[in-house]
Amino acid sequence: MSRRGTGTRATHQALPPAMRDAVDEFATHLAQVRNRSTHTVRAYVADLVSLLDHAVRMGCAEPADLELGVLRSWLAKQRTTGAAHSSSARRAAAARTFSGWAHRSGLLATDVAAPLATPKTRRELPAVLRADQAAALVEAPGGGTPAPVGAGLPVPRSATTTTSPSVPPGTTTTAPPATTTTTEPVPPGTATTTGPEEAAAGPEEAAAGPEEAAAGPEEAAAAGPEEEAATGPEEEAATGPEEAAAGPEEEAAAGPVPPGTATATPPQAGTVTGAVLLRDRALLEILYATGARISEVCGLDVPDVDHERRVIRVLGKGNRERTVPYGLPAQRAIDRWLAVGRPELAGSASDRALFLGARGGRLHPTMARRIVAGYARTAGLPPTSPHGLRHSAATHLLDGGADLRAVQELLGHASLASTQIYTHVSMERLRAAYRQAHPRA
């Protein structure tokens, strides 16, 4: 467990009983009544624990002692410690959500956080790839069309043969026992050292640092007063703490081939390495074709793919289900992955998961991020994440003339304001429309 998760749990346990019980009941309310995702519950609970800990230090012993001045003092302290504007906005939203719930539950005489203002957040334009760059990325695992299984993927450590000194004639040698390992081939350029931050995250390991609330544009403006600043950790380009725990099937990422090692021939059909190549191609195609979040794509099951209609059924934030179309290149990649690649990796832990890790379990978002980043480096592209592909897909749709409402539906945004940021990115489309329509252009 990371230091952050340990600190949140310890702080929770140190709260007075009344406040500790309020945190637990609030978490249950978010999960069971409001139907919030696990990531959102973790983030809100961590913010609430921080708030109540601050309140205790200011002399409060139970939720009824909370006042507006305590909330403002807590937010001011967060700003002095370097919290980003987006982090402060999310924490203010968490405080208002808790205050409203506590008032309705009888824990507070009034909704003390109702007058609490939301810190203004800077709406930064998302970085996007050009259309040709996006095409180069999705084709990196196998060229312009799905390549023969295993072609072009770097050879993992287990597939290398070490050159040995020549043996004098007549000398009998005893070969060491062969070891068979199943490793996750890493895209070229991917860092392979797994640091301590990859350890399993604890349940309280919510985003507490200033960087965790660097929301994607769709999170900057939500519909309700309790949600407008709540950032889902799955929206971040960087790995959030709750997603830093790669499943066991992802732990054996292969490192670079040691110097002096002779590489084997390219992996052939029916090999684990070849199956992983097909998976990577299908993953990249789906991410760019649908603009889906990485957590949504990794959560897909095989039955969620409708091959006849060429759509996928996605379960998004708040358990909102939507249907998203994809194109012919993605269909070809998925068909080949399901027919040739997936059977090679499938095992007892696979269940119905669409994308699998090298050991047969469901592909973890952390590994998916590494895959995207590795192929982006290989293709000589700017640093790119799955969320960058999502931004790129939305921007290219608008550049091609797609309706803003249609893009909103495709991305699964609850508010149109979340989608409008992409109109600022699509300046070329705006200029073209101006030149075509304005009489003085």
The arrangement of strands across the sheet holding 321-325 comes to 305-306, 311-315, 321-325
State the angle between helix axes of 365-378 and 272-290 in degrees (0 to 180), rounded to the nearest 10: 90
Per the CB < 8 A criterion, the answer to whether 326 and 289 are in contact is: yes
pLDDT-based confidence at residue 145 (cuts at 50, 70, 90)? very low
Give how far Cα 217 sits from Cα of 222, 321, 411, 438, Å.
Answer: 10, 20, 11, 30
Give how far Cα 178 sits from Cα of 158, 171, 260, 422, Å.
Answer: 10, 21, 20, 54
Whether residue 69 has pLDDT greater than 90: yes
CA proximity to 327, closest of 310, 302, 349, 309 = 310
pLDDT-based confidence at residue 180 (cuts at 50, 70, 90)? very low
Give how far Cα 278 sits from Cα of 166, 281, 332, 342, 379, Å.
Answer: 38, 5, 11, 8, 17
Instruction: Count Cβ atoms within 10 A of the Cβ of residue 64 and give its class: 0-12 exposed, 13-18 middle, 19 or more buried.
Output: middle
Catalytic sites, residue numbers: 293, 317, 387, 390, 413, 422
pLDDT-based confidence at residue 105 (cuts at 50, 70, 90)? very high
Q: Which CATH fold topology does 1-122+197-224 show?
A: DNA polymerase; domain 1 (1.10.150)
In the chain, where the domains are located: 1-122+197-224, 131-161+179-193+246-257+265-427
Here the tokens at position 184 are 């996750």
256 SS3 class: coil
Here the tokens at position 224 are 């309700």
Q: What is the predicted pLDDT for the residue at 303?
A: 96
CA 186 to CA 164: how far, in whole Å? 26
Architecture of domain 131-161+179-193+246-257+265-427: Orthogonal Bundle (1.10)
Q: What is the mean pLDDT of the chain?
A: 74
Q: What phi, psi does 321 have (nearest 5°)?
A: -95, 140
pLDDT tens string 306-355: 999 999 999 888 778 899 999 999 999 999 999 999 999 998 888 999 99
